[in-house]
Amino acid sequence: MQIQCTWTRPQLRVKPSTFLTLSKQIRRRIGCPSKTRGLIPIAAAMSTSTTTPDNQVASNKDGSTHNPNPPLQIAKRLEKFKTTIFTQMSNLAVKHGAINLGQGFPNFDGPDFVKEAAIQAVKDGKNQYARGYGVPDLNSAIAERFKKDTGLVVDPEKEITVTSGCTEAIAATILGLINPGDEVILFAPFYDSYEATLSMAGAKVKGITLCPPDFALPIEELKSAISKNTRAILLNTPHNPTGKMFTREELNTIASLCIENDVLVFSDEVYDKLAFEMDHISIASLPGMYERTVTMNSLGKTFSLTGWKIGWAIAPPHLAWGVRQAHAFLTFATSTPMQWAAAAALRAPDSYYEELRRDYNAKKAILVEGLKAVGFKVYPSSGTYFVVVDHTPFGVANNDIEFCEYLIKEVGVVAIPTSVFYLNPEEGKNLVRFTFCKDEATLRAAVERMKEKLFRRK
């Protein structure tokens, strides 16, 4: 049974300079057997105390009254979710001058030919609302790329919906196709927006944990988890945060169970071009799966343009309808000039993707070898630009959040605690995630800091 913990607002008000107090507030969350995920919002936790208590009403000159510190308000379906871990860790990185190997955004720019295409689109006057489900040229480019990657031929007008990043594709898919009470299966650890969006849809979340060292799919557990109320499985391959790539055997098992039980698959494949040790397989390409799959992807990871927020969902017409209806009332349309540039990007020659993998392989080697030399237990990563490690050899923290605090404050490097990616945070308390989507100099500098200041327990 999961129990929700809550904190009252006065407990969150600490001075910005009091890092240790913040640490205690954050650690309190780990000590609670709760499904509450994420840390206490940094913005709230770090807010400066005022002289007027929350329960004291101030008077204006005209005699009217107001409360200078009204209580924070949020819908019940979202009240357990805090400020995202990525925002919190990035804020702490700035505060302490730490090297940020936490949040997965590159510190280098995307290719010139794509940026120039965006500039040209702006100059050509392509600056008004785009068609709701995508600029025709981009829809066609997505269909061309999908055929090249999977062999599947899709109708760009009926089966492709352009969204504001893959996160919106996920939201539109869930909100457009999931009803309150539907069961959706997640593989933990998972990208944190999944659970929050499912909560907004009123879904019942079932978690299946992928365990180190290889994070293999527990097939019997999956079979047991599927019920008559299971509507969908939310799949992510290559997998954030572990770097796992689901094997053909695992995908075939998922596919057969979905066909047998009439279950949909929502497949997040944003890291499909960052597959290092095996070929990426889209589950939609397996026999009998296209008609029950929504495949979601984006431009940002492949072209180092995460701020553009260009994503898409590919689905057969009977599923695309729900996705498009939700998308129409979420964002309606996505940035017009960036869509034109995205079409140019997706038509890049194969040599671009080959060079991308070579470059990231080199970065990965620097980080993985460095982390091993420092003393971490490093788990294999076959895809994405993430590596998960076990922090316990150092003995400086009781859990992942304490360790990441220590790493930022005492070492000057940022990692992401993985416990926020689990329904049961205890399952991730020994693991932290590093990213290697940084230039080589930054990676080497971070490794050197850790070599100088982190020491294994004797």
Instruction: Please answer whether residues 154 and 147 qualify as being in contact, where contact means their C-beta atoms are separated by less than 8 angstroms.
Output: yes
Separation CA 16–CA 383 (nearest Å): 38
The phi, psi pair for 345, rounded to 5°, reads -65, -45
Whose CA is closest to 191, among 386, 397, 334, 345? 386
The phi, psi pair for 415, rounded to 5°, reads -125, 170
112-347 classified as CATH 3.40.640.10: yes
80-109+351-452 classified as CATH 3.90.1150.10: yes
* Cα radius of gyration (the chain): 23
Residue count of the chain: 458
Share of the chain above pLDDT 70, in %: 86
pLDDT of residue 80: 85
The structural domains of the chain, with segments of one domain joined by +, span 80-109+351-452, 112-347
Asked if the domains 80-109+351-452 and 112-347 are classified in one and the same CATH topology, the answer is: no
Separation CA 184–CA 231 (nearest Å): 6
The token pair at 37 is 């995920």
Cβ atoms < 10 Å from Cβ of 156: 19
DSSP E strands, 210-276: 230-236, 264-268
Separation CA 325–CA 415 (nearest Å): 38
Q: Is the pLDDT of residue 109 over 60?
A: yes
pLDDT of residue 91: 87
What is the band of 188 on the pLDDT scale with cuts at 50, 70, 90? very high
Which alpha helices (H) appear in 262-374, and where do they start and end?
300-303, 317-330, 336-346, 350-374
The token pair at 445 is 């500098």
Cβ atoms < 10 Å from Cβ of 318: 9
Separation CA 436–CA 296 (nearest Å): 23
The token pair at 4 is 């929700």
Interval 406-452: pLDDT, tens: 999 999 999 999 999 999 999 999 999 999 999 999 999 999 999 99
Could you give the dihedral angle defined by the CA atoms of residues 365, 369, 370 and 376, in that order, rounded to the nearest 10 degrees?
130
The kind and range of the H/E element at 81 are: none
pLDDT of residue 426: 97
Cis peptide, bond prior to residue 380, ω within 30 of zero: no
pLDDT of residue 35: 39
